Amino acid sequence: MIDKVAWIELSDGRVLSTRSKGKDTYYLPGGKREPGESDVDTLVREISEELSVQIDPKTAAHLGTFEAQAHGQPPGVLIRMTCYTAQYSGTLTPANEIAELIWLSAADTTQIAPVDHLVFAHLHAAGLLHP
């Protein structure tokens, strides 16, 4: 099981996604926790490293936890993605392994990882993500 924490940032009915250098699939921003980190600690660190902005930990709110086959992994390797919304300060800028930032709608599911499909469906059903 791959354990990941992800940030859900919505704007105008679209969700922020990222593409790593050398990849052709978009992923919700975030990453794996380091030993001893809480979900929010992981969120703050990963988003700062990947997107050059600062998450306000006091505003972090659990959106949901989703499990699916891990993209690019052998069958049976699952990912558990714990998703949070949170306010941020700074200017969204790709950093480190991130090559691109993009705002995606529910119609863009051909470009995302399997676990992200579940998150997109959840956001769409809640009326937060445009078709």
When divided into structural domains, the chain yields a total of 1
Q: Is residue 93 part of a domain?
A: yes
Task: Tell me the β-bridge partners of 55.
Answer: 88
Q: Is residue 131 part of a domain?
A: no
pTM for the predicted model, two decimal places:
0.95
On whether the CB atoms of residues 130 and 106 are closer than 8 A, the answer is yes
Q: Running along the chain, 131 residues long, what does each successive block of 10 average in pLDDT?
A: 97 96 95 95 97 98 97 94 98 96 95 95 95 90
Residue corresponding to tokens 């699916």: 68
User: What CATH number has the domain bearing residue 92?
Assistant: 3.90.79.10
Q: Is residue 105 part of a domain?
A: yes
Q: Is residue 40 part of a domain?
A: yes
Residue corresponding to tokens 């306010």: 87
